Amino acid sequence: MAPNIRERTYIMIKPDGVDRGLIGEITARFEKRGFKLIAAKLVSPSKEHLEKHYEDLCDKPFFPGMIGYMLSGPVFAMVWEGLDAVKTGRVMLGATNPLQSGPGTIRGDYALAVGRNICHGSDSVENAEKEIALWFPEGLVQYSRSHEAKVYEI
Ligand code: UDP
Ligand code: MG
């Protein structure tokens, strides 16, 4: 089967990342890697929206504090497309706990605390599809890039 160069992942810069001026740093890494940006917006989601996004974690003790943190300012929501986008996106983000994230990862370079880890990335293709539908009900942007054959062997 041909490699799927259209896999999509939902990447979000959390309020601490936005406040600290890291939107450019983080988006630049995905751009330079070769991924294609197909949606992006700065948004202040409601509590209900964030609880839906994190519904799998609702029983965790850190859940209320984490929702409070996510409500502390706007987030920068993005969809990136490309080969192995979900898994590679998670590798680029680093471990959930930044102290366990290697240097060169986003969390490993810019964060220290699990509850202030500056970014979110989908953890499976199935969850990516759900998250993209939740955050971008208006749909994504369709366009072709001129340099696709310089990124992929096509
Ligand atoms: N989180 C936290 N304390 C914990 C574990 C997680 O505050 O002990 C927060 C952290 O910001 C994390 C988010 O909850 O990014 C979602 O947790 P998940 O396990 O899905 O980690 P992720 O997928 O973001 O790496
Ligand atoms: Mg997660």
Ligand 2 centre and the CA of 113: distance in Å? 15
pTM: 0.98
Ligand 2 centre and the CA of 101: distance in Å? 15
When the pLDDT of each residue in the chain is averaged and rounded to a whole number, the result is: 98
Q: What is the pLDDT of residues 86-113, one digit of tens each?
A: 999 999 999 999 999 999 999 999 999 9
Q: What is the pLDDT of residues 20-37, one digit of tens each?
A: 999 999 999 999 999 999
Q: Is residue 75's pLDDT more than 80?
A: yes
Residue 62 to residue 125: CA distance in whole angstroms: 25
Tokens coding 1:
């089967």
Q: Is residue 84's pLDDT more than 80?
A: yes
Q: Is residue 142's pLDDT more than 90?
A: yes
- With a 6 Å cutoff on the Cβ, whether 83 touches ligand 1 is no
Catalytic residue among 49, 53, 120, 147: 120
**Percent of the chain having pLDDT more than 90?**
97
**What is the model's pLDDT at position 1?**
77
Question: Quick one: which atom of ligand 1 is closest to the CA of 65?
Answer: 7
- The residue among 150, 38, 128, 139 whose CA lies nearest residue 84 is 128
Q: Verify whether residue 120 is a known catalytic residue.
A: yes
Residue 25 to residue 91: CA distance in whole angstroms: 16
Edge to edge, what strands does the sheet with 75-81 contain? 36-43, 75-81, 8-13, 119-121
Q: Which segments are annotated as binding site for ATP? A: 14, 62, 90, 96, 107, 117
